[in-house]
Amino acid sequence: MPKYPEDKIRLSIVIPVLNEGTNLKILLKMLEAIVDAPHEILVVYDIPGDNSIPVVKSLQKSYKRLKLIHNRLGRGVIYAIKSGVNIAVGDYVLIIAADDIGPVLIINDMMSLMDNGCDLVNATRYAYGGKNIGGIFISRMLSIIANKMFHTLSGLALTDPTLGVKMFRRDMFNQIELDSKPIGWAVSFEFAIKAQLAGWKLGEVPVISLNRIYGGKSSFKAGKWVREYLKWFFWGMKKLYLSNKSKRVMVKIPEKIKS
């Protein structure tokens, strides 16, 4: 495992937000308490009136390296991610949502896989003891069915490609052209497919996802979401079927899930 200077930022945590003030109060405290490596937190917002902004500002005096980033590339998660990565300075970048505290508990395990050679590490709710709890029922059911079908039929190594919790090497991000529409977290699905097609070394860590347990309104809209995800579902099926890229994936199971 490589050694780093103690003051070097190793991880940039990018959090796209849309009125997630309530959830951020909990998430930011958990990140500061749990993440071992030197890190920065980049909260990326689209609109000036977002209720996340005053929450972050109120915590910046006590939280080192907590930054507010105004996404000016266009509204939506895909542009928020690109805005965050453009500012990030860490060797690794982690993308997480503000409304799910589960992924915070596996960040150190994800970094362990990155240190052992992975280029992209994905959290998974559907393998190795992972679970999906909370959120909108229809959204949860569609996610379970779609991810299991895609993993089985396409040959994608990752078992939960639509999940937005992904850690990757910052200097490799621009090797992949991401052009999904800014609908939900479709960019996460696209990213997973294109990473395997590009020959990246992939890893997975199971997560117990606790979605939106502190309230707030979800942006889920079935019609638009289904259309965009289906586009990448069929595109990925075709491309992965014709690809001879490795289907291997490194896995690390946290001790709490093992027990």
Q: Each residue's pLDDT tens digit in the chain (259 positions)? A: 445 455 689 999 999 999 999 999 999 999 989 999 999 999 999 999 999 999 999 999 888 899 999 999 999 999 999 999 999 999 999 999 999 989 999 999 999 999 999 999 999 999 999 998 876 777 788 889 999 999 999 999 999 999 999 999 999 999 999 999 999 999 999 999 999 999 999 999 999 998 755 555 555 456 688 899 999 999 999 999 888 777 789 999 887 666 5
Spell out the domains of the chain, with CATH numbers in brackets.
11-258 (3.90.550.10)
Q: 219: Cβ–Cβ under 8 A, 6 or more apart, which residues?
A: 18, 184
Q: Which CA distances in Å does 34 have to 76, 158, 225, 255?
A: 28, 25, 33, 15
Q: Using an 8 Å Cβ cutoff, are 129 and 160 in contact?
A: no
Q: Using an 8 Å Cβ cutoff, are 163 and 131 in contact?
A: no
